[in-house]
Amino acid sequence: MRVFVVLFNARTENEGIHSLKVGDRNIVLMFEDEDDATRFGGLLEAQDFPPCSVEGFESEEIEEFCHGAGYEAKHVETGTLVMPPDQNLETTDWDPETRPGGLGSQSSPADMDRDMSQNELDRIRQQLENLL
């Protein structure tokens, strides 16, 4: 099945994939619909993320990447409105300027404050559970 993910610096040596950090877990969203992924990417950019792009992959390829990186992959059905977290990490594992790598070798965990409130964690957890 073809899915769409949000990437930074797509098709470069410094490519990074967006993921949500919930507790100690990194979750990559696999959108069923390209427009939904594009909308999510636009919301990220509105929160001062670097420009991103949406790329299509086979779901097995993303799931394999996630497994190898210790991430989780979550399927997002068509028409599901996913909102980025209100807060972002101040620093990420991915540096858009200097850290080389590729989709299979590195990523940018997504971008939530490590010290977020329990209410915010509960909201995100509920949103992810609704995706299932």
Q: Identify which of 113, 11, 16 has the alpha carbon closest to the alpha carbon of residue 65.
A: 16
Least confident of 27-31, 36-40, 77-81, 127-131: 127-131
- C-beta separation of 26 from 72 below 8 A: yes
Q: Which burial class, exposed, middle or buried, applies to 117 when counting CB atoms under 10 A from its CB (0-12, 13-18, 19+)? A: exposed
CA–CA dist 114, 42 (Å, integer) = 23
CA–CA dist 100, 107 (Å, integer) = 10
Q: Is the pLDDT of residue 121 over 50?
A: yes
- The whole-number pLDDT of residue 49 equals 87
Where do the DSSP E strands lie in 23-124? 25-31, 52-58, 72-76
Torsion-angle region of residue 122: left (phi > 0), alpha (psi -120 to 50) or beta? Answer: alpha
Q: What mean pLDDT do residues 103-109 have?
A: 35
- The whole-number pLDDT of residue 107 equals 35
Terminal Cα-to-Cα distance of the chain (whole angstroms): 17
pTM: 0.67
Q: Per residue in 60-104, pLDDT tens?
A: 999 999 999 999 999 999 999 898 886 554 444 545 554 433 343
* Average pLDDT in the chain: 78
- The whole-number pLDDT of residue 103 equals 42
- The whole-number pLDDT of residue 101 equals 38
Q: Is the pLDDT of residue 36 over 70?
A: yes
CA–CA dist 56, 37 (Å, integer) = 10
> What are the phi and psi torsion angles at 107 (to 5°)?
-155, 175
- The whole-number pLDDT of residue 120 equals 62
